[in-house]
Amino acid sequence: MSSNPTPAKKQLLKIIILGDSGVGKTSLMHQFVSKKFDSRYKATIGADFLTKELTVGDQVVSLQIWDTAGQERFQSLGSAFYRGADACVLVYDVTVQESFAHVGSWMEEFSIQAGRRDSVLIGNKTDLEDRRQVPTRTAQMWCDKQNAEGDKNDKTEMKYFETSARENTGVEEAFMAVAAAALARKASQPAPVPPPSTVNLNQNQPGNAGGSNNTNSGCSC
Amino acid sequence: MRKWVFIINNWNSTSLEVKKKYCRKGIPQQFRRKVWRLFLLGTKGAKGKAAERGKPYSYYSELPLEDTQLEGVIERDLDRTFPTHRKFDSGANGEGQQALRRMLRAYANYNRGVGYCQGMGFLAATLLLQINEEERAFWCFCSLMEEEEYNLKSLYEPGFPMLQCYFSVFEGLMKKTNKKVYHHVREVHGVESSYYATHWFLTLFTYYLNFGLISRIWDMFLCEGWKIIFRFALALLKIDQQRLLGAATETELLMVLKDIQENKEPAKMLDVSLKIKFTTKYMNKLKKSYLDSQQRKK
C-alpha cells in the first residue's frame, strides 16, 4: 500500500471545538494535546489554540485545534475562527441537559460559517456519572438522526464519543476520529474550497496519500 | 510622594497634563486605590456616583436577573476568573467569589442591554482586588463600563461593535507603526487581530499579564484612555518582532502570538510602548473611517 516514492507532505488540519460555556472544551484540548488536566483553567475569552502533530495511517498531520468561548454572544466573533475549519468537535456536558439541547444550534452555526464538514459529538464529564442528565442512548440517537438526514451523496458521518477530560478517557479516540474523517475528506477533495474570503491557510497539498488514510479509528459506541 | 498628596487634594484643579506625567511614572501603591477611585468616581466618590445613577448598589445586586440564562454563565465563570489568585480560589462560597457574583449580577441588572459577557469578570475582579471594597469597586466597574472615555460596554454589547472597530484601528496602527510585522502577520499569513487580541481589549490585559504590569497599564489607561491600550498591544508585537517575522507558517505564527504576552519585563514594556509614535488624531481618523464604513453597510 505505502508505495509512495516520496514521503507524503505534512497535512494541515484545522479543527474547532464548540459548545456551551463550562462543558470542558479547554480541558479536552489540553488533555488531548498535553496529556494533562487542571481544574483551574480560566474562562476562554474569544478563542485559543494549540497544535499537535500526529500520524494518521502514514500521513503526518499537523493539527491546529481551536478552542472557543462558550457564551452564545461570542458566535458573532466566530466567523473568523470558523473560516477554513476542516472539522468540528461539538461538546456538551453529560450532567447539564441544557448543554445537550444547544448542540444543534452550535452545529448549525458551524455549518453556516464553514460549510458542511465532518464533526464528532462528545459528551464530556463521564466521571460525574452520578449526576448524569443525558443518557448515552439519547445522544447516540441524536447523531443517528443527523446521519440519516444528511445528504445521501455526502458520506459525512457524525460519531458519538463519551469522555472524561479529567480522567483522560475517550479523549484520544474522539480527536483521532475527527482528524481521520477530516483527512479522508481532504484527500478525496484535493482542492479545498473555503468560503469566499481571504485564503489564509498556508497549506501543502498532500502527495496524494491514496488509500492510506482509511485508518478509521472511530468507535461507534 | 508629596506631589501625589498635592494632586489628590487638588484633584479637580490639577490639569490632565500633570496627571498624565505622574501616572506615566506609576502611581505609588499606597495612593493607587485612591487615585483610581478619583478617576472613576470623581471627588464625590461612590455615594455621588450611586446618586447620579439612581439606585443604590444593594438594589441592583439583589434584584433577580431578567435573563435567567446569564445566571448559569456567571456562576460557571466565578471560579474561572483569576482561578489561582488567593482571593478567588476558595470556591463559590469564598468571600472573593461571592463579591464578584454580586458585582456581576448588579451590573447585568444595571445595564440589561449589555448584561453579562465572558471577560467582564476579569475587569470586575481587578477592581475588587485594587479597590478592595465591594460597593466602591462596583461603582468603579460601572464607570469603566459606562463612562465615555472608557466605554467598555460598547465592546461587550451583543455583536461586539466597538471591539470590531478596535481590531480595525489596531491593525491600522500596526500598519502605520510597524509595516514589516503588519505585512507578515496580516498580509502574508492572513492572521487577524481577533485571533489573538480579543482578550487584550476585552479584559484590558488582565487576562494574562501580572498584576504589577497591569497596575502600571491601568494607571495610564485611566488617565489617558484607549490610546494606552493600543500602545501596549503594539509594544507586545514590537518586542517579539523577530520571532513573529521568523514564523514560516500560519501555525508557527499563531503559536508565537499565543504566548506573546508571557514573561514580559514591565520596564521594557513601558519603555517600548511609550516610544511608539502615532497621533490621537490619526487613531480617531481610523476609528471614524471604520464606523463610517459600517454605517454605509447599513
What was the ipTM of the complex prediction?
0.91
Which range of residues forms the domain containing residue B11?
1-30
Mean pLDDT over the full length of chain B: 95
- Quote the pLDDT of residue A155: 62
Residue B73: DSSP 8-state: H
- Between CA B85 and CA B104 the distance in angstroms is 18
Whether chain A has a CB inside 8 Å of the CB on B68: the answer is no
Q: Which residues of A84-117 are buried (b: 16+ CB within 10 A; e: fewer)?
A: bbbbbbbbbbbbbeebbebbeebbebbeebbeeb
* Domain assignment of residue A215, yes or no: no
* Domain assignment of residue B249, yes or no: yes
- Quote the pLDDT of residue A193: 52
The residue among A75, A59, A65, A71 whose CA lies nearest residue A99 is A71
Q: Is the pLDDT reported for residue A199 higher than 70?
A: no
**Chain centre to alpha carbon of residue A35:** 17
Sign of CA dihedral B168, A41, A122, A71: negative
Phi, psi of A89 (to 5 degrees): -110, 115
Domain count, chain A: 1
**First vs last Cα of chain A: how many Å apart?**
29
CATH code of the domain in which B91 resides = 1.10.8.270
Mean pLDDT of the B143-158 span: 97
* Domain assignment of residue B153, yes or no: no
Cβ-defined contact of B77 to A21 (cutoff 8 Å) = yes
Do the bridges between strand A59-68 and strand A118-124 make them parallel or antiparallel, or are there none, so unpaired? unpaired
- Nearest residue on chain A to B255, judged by CA atoms? A50
Of B147, B177, B193, the residue at which a domain comes to its end is B147
Q: Is the pLDDT reported for residue A8 higher than 70?
A: no
* Domain assignment of residue B223, yes or no: yes
Mean pLDDT of the A145-174 span: 88
Domain count, chain B: 3
Q: What is the largest CA-CA distance in chain B?
A: 57
Mean pLDDT of the A13-27 span: 96
Question: Percentage of chain B surpassing pLDDT 70?
Answer: 100
Q: Please return the burial class of A182, using the count of CB atoms within 10 Å of its CB with bins 0-12, 13-18 and 19+.
A: buried
pLDDT in tens, A28-68: 999 999 999 998 899 999 999 999 999 998 899 999 999 99
* Domain assignment of residue B154, yes or no: no
* Domain assignment of residue B55, yes or no: yes
Contact, A22 vs B76, CB < 8 A? yes
- Between CA B110 and CA B142 the distance in angstroms is 9
Residue A128: DSSP 8-state: G
Q: Which of A82-96, A108-122, B222-236 ranks highest by mean pLDDT?
A: B222-236
Q: Which residues of B12-50 are buried (b: 16+ CB within 10 A; e: fewer)?
A: eebeeeebeebbbeebeeebbbebbbbbbbeeeebeebb
* Domain assignment of residue A107, yes or no: yes
Which range of residues forms the domain containing residue A112?
11-188
- Nearest residue on chain B to A14, judged by CA atoms? B251
Which of A59-68, A130-139, B84-93 is least confident? B84-93
Task: Check whether residue B53 and residue B136 sit in a common domain.
Answer: yes
Cβ-defined contact of B202 to A71 (cutoff 8 Å) = no
Please name every residue paired with B67 in a beta bridge, in sequence order, or none if there are none: none
Whether chain A has a CB inside 8 Å of the CB on B193: the answer is no
SS (H, E, C) A140-190: HHHHHHHHHHCCCCCCCCCEEEECECCCCECHHHHHHHHHHHHHHHHHHCC
Residues 6+ apart with CB under 8 A from A57: A209, A212, A213, A214, A215
* Domain assignment of residue A122, yes or no: yes
- Nearest residue on chain A to B251, judged by CA atoms? A64
Phi, psi of A91 (to 5 degrees): -125, 135
Mean pLDDT of the A181-191 span: 80
CA distance A141 to chain B (A): 27
Phi, psi of A152 (to 5 degrees): -60, -30
Please name every residue paired with A49 in a beta bridge, in sequence order, or none if there are none: A66
Task: Check whether residue B138 and residue B164 sit in a common domain.
Answer: no
Whether chain B has a CB inside 8 Å of the CB on A97: the answer is no
Q: Is the pLDDT reported for residue A214 higher than 60?
A: no
Q: Is the pLDDT reported for residue B116 higher than 60?
A: yes
Task: Check whether residue B194 and residue B88 sit in a common domain.
Answer: no
* Domain assignment of residue B37, yes or no: no
Which of A122-131, A194-203, B15-24, B209-218 is least confident? A194-203
Contact, A173 vs A54, CB < 8 A? no
CATH code of the domain in which B245 resides = 1.10.472.80
- Between CA B103 and CA B124 the distance in angstroms is 7
Q: What is the torsion angle, in degrees rounded to the nearest 10, for the CA atoms of residue A158, residue B69, residue A26 and residue A136?
A: -40
CA distances to A13, A22, B233, B235, B253 from B247, rounded to whole Å, are 18, 33, 19, 18, 5
Specify the higher pLDDT residue, A148 or B57. B57
- Quote the pLDDT of residue B87: 86
Cβ-defined contact of A71 to B73 (cutoff 8 Å) = yes
Q: Is the pLDDT reported for residue A125 higher than 70?
A: yes
CATH code of the domain in which A103 resides = 3.40.50.300
Task: Check whether residue B286 and residue B205 sit in a common domain.
Answer: yes
Cα–Cα–Cα angle for B69, B74, B80, nearest 5°?
140
- Nearest residue on chain A to B190, judged by CA atoms? A200
Task: Check whether residue B125 and residue B75 sit in a common domain.
Answer: yes
Q: Is the pLDDT reported for residue A4 higher than 80?
A: no
* Domain assignment of residue A211, yes or no: no
- Quote the pLDDT of residue A5: 52
Q: Which residues of A touch B254 (CB under 8 A)?
A: 49, 51, 64
Q: Is the pLDDT reported for residue B169 higher than 70?
A: yes
